[in-house]
Chain A
Amino acid sequence: KAGVTQTPRYLIKTRGQQVTLSCSPISGHRSVSWYQQTPGQGLQFLFEYFSETQRNKGNFPGRFSGRQFSNSRSEMNVSTLELGDSALYLCASSGAESYEQYFGPGTRLTVT
């Protein structure tokens, strides 16, 4: 089985721009969660999607949004980028045994 894939792997954007990141879960997995990882804050939960519906949401501003498609692929969008949004964005998928999450390699976003 192919693992979780994320595109792009690296991205450089300018303050004020917007960005869309993509995540393809493991085949058959219907839950996709997104996390932000920074050296200062560690891993922080952004949101979780299940069957195209947002099931859970962390404490991030409305500039962070996401969606999930019928094939379980998910995208997250960050609008009006700030310098502090520079981070590694990880997505993780889980299947029937929902306690085990499989992480993708992440997208390294740098905002200048």
Chain B
Amino acid sequence: GQNIDQPTEMTATEGAIVQINCTYQTSGFNGLFWYQQHAGEAPTFLSYNVLDGLEEKGRFSSFLSRSKGYSYLLLKELQMKDSASYLCAVRDGEYKLSFGAGTTVTVRA
């Protein structure tokens, strides 16, 4: 099976930057995804990395190092609405998608 680790909780102040790390071990690799999930809602797609490096999309950036089995999601200029669970997911060699347990980010005023 897949092993995906990410911190359980993080707290940050409005306007600050938060970095959520994700480490993984998979059989084969076909991409890493980040999803945002607000309480009581379905996950929404944030980013996709399949090659090493940084992908930037507005206030959110995602980084991947395949050799290290490591990714991070960077949230800049935090807003209250960014309080949510952030899920790291990895697609393995058989194109199955496995999710980490999620990191709950709380943004405080």
Contacts and interface: CB of A to CB of B under 8 A. Distances in A.
Interface of A: 33, 35, 42-45, 48, 55-56, 58-59, 90, 99-106
A104 B41 CA distance: 9
Interface string B68-109: 000000000000000000010101001111111110000000
Interface of B is mostly: loop
Contacts of B1: 59
Contacts of B41: 105
Given A43-B99, A56-B95, A58-B96, A90 B43 contact: yes
Interface of B: 1, 31, 33, 41-45, 48, 50, 87, 89, 91, 94-102
B43 A33 contact: no
A39 to B, nearest CB: 10
Given A45-B98, A56-B95, A99-B33, A104 B42 contact: yes
Interface of A is mostly: strand
A42 B42 contact: no
Nearest to A56: B96
